[in-house]
Amino acid sequence: MPQTPSYDRWVVRGGARLVGEVTVSGAKNSVLKLLAATLLAPGRSVLTNVPDIADVRIMGELLQSLGAELHHDAAAGVVTVDVPELVGDVAEYDLVRRIRGSFVVLGPLLARRGRARVGLPGGDAIGSRQIDLHLAGMALLGAEVSVEHGYVVATSGNLVGAPIWLDIPSVMATENLLLASVLAKGTTVIDNAAREPEVADLAHMLVAMGAQIDGIGTSTLTIEGVEGLRPCEHATVPDRIVAGTFAVGAAMTLGDVTVRDARAEHLDMPLTKLAEAGAQVDLLPDGFRVRADRRPTAVDVSTLYYPGFPTDLQPLAIALLAISEGSAMLTENVFDGRFQFVDELVRLGADAHVNGHHVMVRGRPQLSSAPVQVGDIRAGAALILAGLVADGVTEVYDAGHIERGYAGFDAQLRSLGADVTRR
């Protein structure tokens, strides 16, 4: 797969309004799971609308290590995966630790091989991230599961369908269990399943491969196991978080941005919040337009599982509140440590105070430039937007994180009139 260099320091000159049009490509959090799904069927699967991001390249390396051949046409956004009859059964820690999304190979490997050894993913800069629900679900499907020397080791012989109730509607637990149960014998019902559009996208691809799944997009997924699946061609669902990032950027910079190839219905809550904050939001057949002609008004935001306000847009929402008129409370209900970047925003002059899983933000008319550091993808995007509304030049260190989830973010921002360069 092609490698693009990573630039770790981005330099943002504040003051520009974001004006113009951008096109959004496929969702990171979908395509990583779609790539894992290809392992379920020997032969050639083709994924389109694939974003040109670092995480796709790392997931590609993992699939190759399991015996698949990959061809990635980054310019066309197409990945072709040739999956052999016999896939490997070990996902090495060194690859899994680099992207957490890769942990969803557990389901397909168990389903295809009856056994799997997958590196245990670690915590990260957004808080502790358990995998107990993945493992408990696999055990209900008949696998013997243990954690040994930093690896999840699972053996199953044949998986057998079962009722599974998830304590939390975890996105990747739902996906891992979907990926395992489509080839299990009999019926699996996943209750309290995640309803995120990326989960539905995976389910739709599995159906195109021959799986039988009812209740797609709802919190009860019923899977009737089938004997075998066939490869397919599938277009990745548009990235709602990237689309939402540009929406917030338009509101913050008093700009006017049209976002194309996006699904506004996947952003109901964030777009409603932006409208409450005073932005003009127009829905279009292939996306939406957000414009603002006055400083946003502060609005309270609480993150929640879909269709609630997405936790992945939480840092962007805090950046918006930092320059809004008035005070508001942001409550994070999904992850326990996703406020680490707030200190960086404070370095840019934001008046924000963390208290447990709440942040109290008192808006200021403008932020002031400072060197800041990025801890994760979404915090990175938020700090870049904050730099756009700061006076002077903001240097954003460790900005390589952004390239894990945003394809050509700097170029897209420049096309909208921002002064952003990678060094």
Chosen residue from 17, 57, 134, 195 binding ligand EPU by CB under 6 A: 134
Q: In angstroms, how far is the first alpha carbon of the chain from the final one?
A: 24
* Interface mask toward ligand EPU for 237-276; x: CB under 6 A: ----------------------------------------
Interaction of residue 304 with ligand EPU, rule CB under 6 A: no
Tell me whether residue 253 or residue 303 sits nearer to ligand EPU (CB atom): 303
- Quick one: the chain helix, strand, coil %, rounded to 5? 35, 30, 40
Long-range Cβ pairs for the range 96-99 (8 Å, 24+): 96/62, 96/120, 96/121, 97/121, 97/122, 98/58, 99/32, 99/55, 99/58, 99/59, 99/404
Interaction of residue 133 with ligand EPU, rule CB under 6 A: yes
Cα–Cα distance, 406 to 239 (Å, whole number) = 9
Smallest gap from residue 73 Cβ to ligand EPU (A): 23
Which residues 6+ apart lie within 8 Å of 343 measured at CB? none
Tell me whether residue 30 or residue 188 sits nearer to ligand EPU (CB atom): 30
Tell me whether residue 16 or residue 166 sits nearer to ligand EPU (CB atom): 166
Judged by CB under 6 A, the number of residues near ligand EPU is: 25
- In this structure, are residues 372 and 400 in contact, taking their beta carbons and an 8 Å threshold? no
C-alpha dist (Å) from residue 322 to 50, 295, 350, 390: 33, 11, 5, 11
Which region among 9-17, 125-133, 269-277, 408-416 touches ligand EPU (by CB under 6 A)? 125-133
State which amino acid sits at residue 140: L
Interaction of residue 220 with ligand EPU, rule CB under 6 A: no
Residues 194-213 that bind ligand EPU (CB under 6 A): 194
Interaction of residue 131 with ligand EPU, rule CB under 6 A: yes
Which tokens sit at 335?
């992850």
Interaction of residue 36 with ligand EPU, rule CB under 6 A: no
Which residues in 223-262 are b (16+ Cβ under 10 Å) and which e?
Answer: bebeeebebbebbbbbbbbbbbbbbbbbbbbbbbbbbbeb
Residues 325-384 that bind ligand EPU (CB under 6 A): 334-335, 377-378
Which tokens sit at 384?
């870049």
Smallest gap from residue 251 Cβ to ligand EPU (A): 21
- In this structure, are residues 385 and 319 in contact, taking their beta carbons and an 8 Å threshold? yes
Smallest gap from residue 336 Cβ to ligand EPU (A): 6
Interaction of residue 29 with ligand EPU, rule CB under 6 A: yes
Residues 151-170 that bind ligand EPU (CB under 6 A): 168, 170
DSSP 311: G
For 382, the enclosing helix (H) or strand (E) is helix 377-388
Q: Is cis: bond before 315, omega within 30 of 0? A: no
Smallest gap from residue 323 Cβ to ligand EPU (A): 23
Smallest gap from residue 230 Cβ to ligand EPU (A): 25
Which region among 8-16, 127-135, 205-213, 384-392 touches ligand EPU (by CB under 6 A)? 127-135
| Whether 293 is catalytic | no
| Catalytic site residue from 82, 124, 261, 419 | 124
Smallest gap from residue 107 Cβ to ligand EPU (A): 13
Q: Which stretches of the chain bind ligand EPU, using CB under 6 A?
A: 28-29, 32, 100-101, 126, 129-134, 168, 170-173, 194, 311-312, 334-335, 377-378, 405
Catalytic (active-site) positions: 124
